[in-house]
Amino acid sequence: MANEWEGRVALITGAAQGQGRASALALAREGCRIAALDVAKTLSYPGYNLGSPQALETLADECRRLGVECLPFAADVRDDAAVSATVNATVARFGRIDILFNNAGICAYGLAHELTEEAWDAMLDINLKGAWMVARRVMPHMMARKAGVILNNSSIAGLRGMARLSHYAASKWGLVGLTKSWALELAPYNIRVVSLHPTGVNTPMNDGLAALEGATPQEIAERSAGNLLPVPWIEAEDVAAAVVFLASDKARFITGSQFVVDAGLLTR
């Protein structure tokens, strides 16, 4: 039987660590070729450790050991020149992009009346506008081939309110709007668009938030109060498994919808 992943190409943003890295490796294990984009440096906001060039190189090496090629790109999703160069280089090398995982994101706490404009703009520009900045450059390639899947990594904060995270929640609800609208625009081209909504995930983001807040990673996870299943958080690999499924042909009639991986949290 033909392997559906053979020849396929996934562009993953925020790929150097956390859920992006786990998803890149999970797709690579299926045989998918990878373009791994990450800002690969720490930004003044949110201030915790983001990806690094070394982390991107490590991912590329691990993919190669799995027998698939991985192109690492140090690029900020807010930078159109860098994003366009990434997309063009990926298509030049691999000939196509089948899967886009818009995953790059930041998080930080702040009461709405205390947030600075810098914080608001960084949050919305990276988490929401960044997804569009990348997708608009990838879409024409998918449309030309009449095939593709775009996955937007939102959050449980994209389906509920969260105190001290209004700017984060706004960016994540925004991704639902993008998902549904792009699904309408792209269905005639056989392109599916789905948003993912994980509960707290055990990643460097959670560690970074803990450091900023002077709390333990466990306390940060418990703030989102209340996974139904008895776990403080889920692992990046749990999200990666959902990414592989949603990107696969098994999910061929799933589009425009919200895929929740929340250990039951939103049931409360």
Ligand X SMILES: NC(=O)c1ccc[n+]([C@@H]2O[C@H](COP(=O)([O-])OP(=O)(O)OC[C@H]3O[C@@H](n4cnc5c(N)ncnc54)[C@H](O)[C@@H]3O)[C@@H](O)[C@H]2O)c1
Q: Which residues bind ligand X (CB under 6 A)?
A: 13-14, 16-20, 38-39, 50-51, 76-78, 103-107, 126-127, 130, 153, 155, 198, 200-201, 203-206
Query: Which residue number, 139 or 165, has a Cβ lying nearer to ligand X?
Result: 165
Least Å distance between CB 187 and ligand X? 25
We find the least distance from the C-beta atom of residue 27 to ligand X, in angstroms, to be 15
Of the residues 45, 48, 109, 168, only one is catalytic, namely: 168
3-state secondary structure labels for all residues of the chain? CCCCCCCCEEEEECCCCHHHHHHHHHHHHHCCEEEEEECCCCCCCCCCCCCCHHHHHHHHHHHHHCCCCEEEEECCCCCHHHHHHHHHHHHHHHCCCCEEEECCCCCCCCCCCCCCHHHHHHHHHHHHHHHHHHHHHHHHHHHHHCCEEEEEECCHHHCCCCCCCHHHHHHHHHHHHHHHHHHHHHHHHCEEEEEEEECCEECHHHHHHHHHHCCCHHHHHHHCCCCCCCCCCEEHHHHHHHHHHHHCHHHCCCCCCEEEECCCHHHC
Nearer to ligand X, 14 or 148 (CB): 14
Q: Is 48 a catalytic residue?
A: no
Using the minimum distance from each CB to ligand X, give the nearer residue, 4 or 172.
Answer: 172
Nearer to ligand X, 50 or 193 (CB): 50
Minimum distance of ligand X from residue 205's CB (angstroms)? 3
Least distance between ligand X and beta carbon 68 (Å): 20
Active site residues: 168
